[in-house]
A and B are shown apart, each in its own frame.
Chain A
């Protein structure tokens, strides 16, 4: 199948759906969503817990409910989508190659492309956890799919490594289904997930969260028999003499999400090593003109509500691009993370409209100010009582703030206040 479209959207999860609706809202009618799964909604379909939508809808929804609102809207306005469709390649000139069982090979010439492929989970192999290679060692997301979509229990006695949000949610979910979650080990001195999830998923069920602990050995040849855990030092190395054997038949890993950018790289899109996602401007346009990016493929979000918000921005960017209203290509300011900041998105701005920056700190910080500065002057700032790595923060830059300031080469987002907390206090 060969076809042309104004906007091809790669991925029908929360980012892709919201981006499609945003394009539509801006008057674009020729849109095509490509989704690799057999349904729209992406990973939200297996997130059957609630807690979604408080910011976007002002209501607490489950993942499938949140997704369904967007799916209903997409169906209502009639945006076409292809399911079971895997994109194999995207070229610099925005030709998209895909395949599905119904149409066979598909070639789509697009004016603009929105990358909305989401992320994948870090694996045991990437962590190089030593030991055997038995069944029973899964990423938290795979276990979530097994339970919530397939209806099967990965195991009875569970240890969870990593306190990412999916791991926390799964601790509670497994407990509800009759499994025994023995502990969650977190190598850092703080949780990498949301504080509310630590409270609602671990504390409420008496599941211990062991900070500065990691799994140093996996035991078992056929099915997992147990793990050896150990305390780690400041360099995150196991401390001798602190080893402890914990018997379990299941080890779940919730040790980080990686934006899935193999297709982006194939299209020549430049990536930010700090986020793992593309380098974008305030309209989420990547280094390749006409290719945009939003959602977890751009940077890993804590709340889906912010994904929707970001996707809306990308949709506006596409509208501006198609209508030739993009700022001139080279006239941008670089925005870089400074003291205390792990990353900031967007990484470059044109500054002819207000900009909402999304960022995360590199540790826990208390009572201080986040400011956007060129070294001398401050263009935007915000007081924060506390910032933690598990939570995304944001800062708005007013267009007027930059006006008439003459030549600024680059901006830095930095933390001004007391140094980082030494130990995690969010337990």
Chain B
């Protein structure tokens, strides 16, 4: 029996798990995917928004600004890359300028510090690659960038260190509340019992809610497509460059990533499919063409990968973070679209406060350790630190991923993580091996060898991302025995 079961291991679910680990609670996180952050949290802009574009008075506005302010501490505690590079919203005409003024007014009401409207010249001085058609911009120095899946991994590892249990590939299929008030949660693998459920199921937040008997809202998926550029383009802009927002969202941005790439996107297209993470020629063209308006020198070449993510938009558009009105003991953290990544640490506190209200009082866990250390990064070390590391452990002297300079030592560290890590994508998200310009063409077979050696998983069983995503389907000659192939 768990005190709390959290459904969903995205940035919201893992954030809540870590926050609740501060209290004496028995917690489990159930995740349908094979790793943390495989849904919306793994495919978004990675922006820590300043908070000027949320409507004043909304939950979004409050949690955005609160969450933004928490990032310095949380990134330090959890060893997650975070940089306050600042955001610019560009204006190209008079209409845009009135939009900037609106954003500024909203921002001030939301409590966003240090907002300022800059002239076109000032913008070009800061960002010479921005279009010279710019006539003004809103400057928000508190805007930042982080690694969204890196944050989720860090929060999950820290939660696990503090006793939270994680269950991957456990898709919740049925929820019932028994007469004694205890929830029975049936997953694709086994049953769980819990006093409280936190619904952090992202794009399926309404599905999970309905399963428990609460059909008070629905979630509408909105797709966003992105292009990620080679490191060579990483310095094209230093700040995150926006255009004025529309009804569909914050629009197409051009931003450096914390890992030194350049990210362009997203599009915003409503879809009725909850698993529709396909990219499209139209979507990618749209993103590129709109981005050209901000940065005209942007090349059509230099893209190393494209991806799409779904945003979970709830009815009304605002976050839904409250106890269910219909099912006692069921807490929603639903409808978390942008700025959900920014708000995640604040959402976690909000949920903890709700739980405290519902359960009487939460007893602090005195043993809670807020600190987590990430995997060593050979690439980011100076010469002396590298030399010492290789001397201590020669595996850090063997480069496995040549594009991102990732060593065997780092791969092995990822495999020895507290969370189960065995799929190629899970290793990639933790170490960046395979994230570079050759996209794993060189290192994937070498990483498979290490997985086989370290974890004893046969090569044929190693997957890209769990399920049926095996990399190879058999040994050579196997298919000949089956009588297939040449006659």
Contact = CB atoms under 8 A, between A and B. Distances in A.
Interface of A: 36, 84, 86, 88, 97, 99-105, 120-121, 123-126, 128, 130-135, 138-139, 141-142, 145-147, 149-156, 175-180, 205, 216-217, 221-223, 238, 249
B441 interface: yes
Contacts of A86: 399, 402, 405
Contacts of B98: none
A222 B469 contact: yes
A180 B442 CA distance: 25
Contacts of B365: none
A134 B284 CA distance: 19
Interface of B: 227-228, 275, 277-281, 283-284, 301, 303-307, 383, 386-387, 390-391, 394-395, 397-399, 402, 405, 437-442, 444-445, 448-449, 459-460, 463-482, 484-486
Nearest to B388: A104
B444 A222 contact: no
B473 A133 contact: no
A177 B477 contact: yes
A176 B386 contact: no
List the 8 closest pairs (A to B, CB-CB), nearest first: A178-B479, A178-B485, A125-B305, A101-B394, A135-B464, A86-B399, A152-B472, A178-B480
B486 A178 contact: yes
A178 B307 contact: no
B398 A101 contact: yes
B135 to A, nearest CB: 32
B274 to A, nearest CB: 12
Contacts of B227: 128
Contact of B486 (A100, A131, A175, A217): A175
Contacts of B448: 150
A103 B399 CA distance: 13
A142 B305 CA distance: 17
B441 A120 contact: yes
Nearest to A253: B441
Contacts of A100: 397-398
Given A135-B469, A135-B471, A223-B468, A149 B439 contact: no
A125 B449 CA distance: 24
Given A126-B303, A223-B469, A105 B387 contact: yes
A135 B439 contact: no
B485 A222 contact: no
A256 to B, nearest CB: 12
Contact of A156 (B405, B437, B449, B479): B479
Given A86-B399, A139-B441, A150-B459, A178 B306 contact: no
B306 A125 contact: yes
Contacts of B399: 36, 86, 99
9 contacts: A86-B402, A101-B398, A103-B397, A105-B383, A121-B438, A130-B306, A132-B277, A145-B445, A222-B467
A201 B471 CA distance: 25
B484 A178 contact: yes
B136 to A, nearest CB: 33
Contacts of B472: 146, 150, 152-155
A219 B477 CA distance: 27
Contacts of A120: 437-438, 441-442
Contacts of A124: 305, 439
A131 B460 CA distance: 25
B405 A88 contact: yes
A153 B478 contact: yes
B468 A123 contact: no
A152 B459 CA distance: 8
Contacts of B391: 104
**Which of A36, A131, A152 has its CB near the most chain B CB atoms (within 10 A)?**
A152
Given A101-B398, A102-B397, A222-B469, A147 B442 contact: no
A178 B478 contact: yes
Given A36-B399, A149-B445, A135 B304 contact: no
B398 A84 contact: yes
A78 to B, nearest CB: 25
B303 A99 contact: no
Contacts of A97: 383
A101 B390 contact: yes
B31 to A, nearest CB: 16
Contacts of A135: 463-465, 469-471
Contacts of B478: 153, 178
Contacts of A150: 445, 448-449, 459, 472
Given A86-B399, A104-B397, 11 more contacts: A99-B399, A123-B439, A124-B439, A132-B278, A135-B465, A142-B445, A146-B445, A178-B479, A179-B485, A180-B485, A223-B469
A130 B303 contact: no
B303 A153 contact: no
A87 to B, nearest CB: 10
A191 to B, nearest CB: 22
A135 B434 CA distance: 13
B473 A123 contact: no
A124 to B, nearest CB: 7
Contacts of A104: 387, 390-391, 394, 397
Nearest to B474: A153
A178 B473 CA distance: 12
Nearest to A225: B468
Nearest to A140: B441
B444 A142 contact: yes
Nearest to B304: A125
Contacts of B486: 175-176, 178, 205
A180 B484 contact: yes
B415 to A, nearest CB: 18
- Most chain A CB inside 10 Å of its own CB: which residue of B284, B383, B473, B478: B473
A101 B397 contact: yes
Nearest to B305: A125
A140 B43 CA distance: 27
B438 to A, nearest CB: 5
Given A104-B390, A128-B284, A36 B402 contact: yes
B464 A153 contact: no
B90 to A, nearest CB: 25
B304 A123 contact: yes
Given A130-B278, A153-B473, A99 B479 contact: no
Nearest to B467: A222
Nearest to B485: A178
Contacts of B394: 101-102, 104
Contacts of B449: 150
A109 to B, nearest CB: 15
A156 B484 contact: yes
B471 A154 contact: yes
Contacts of B474: 152-153
B78 to A, nearest CB: 27
Given A101-B398, A102-B397, A132-B278, A151 B387 contact: no
A411 B190 CA distance: 75
Contacts of B463: 135, 222
A84 B396 CA distance: 12
B278 A101 contact: no
Contacts of A146: 445, 471-472
Nearest to B399: A86
A179 B479 contact: yes
Contacts of B464: 134-135, 222
Nearest to A145: B445
A136 B481 CA distance: 22
Contacts of B398: 84, 100-101
Contacts of A88: 405
Nearest to B458: A152
A130 B225 CA distance: 10
A263 B168 CA distance: 40
A151 B474 CA distance: 9
B445 A154 contact: no
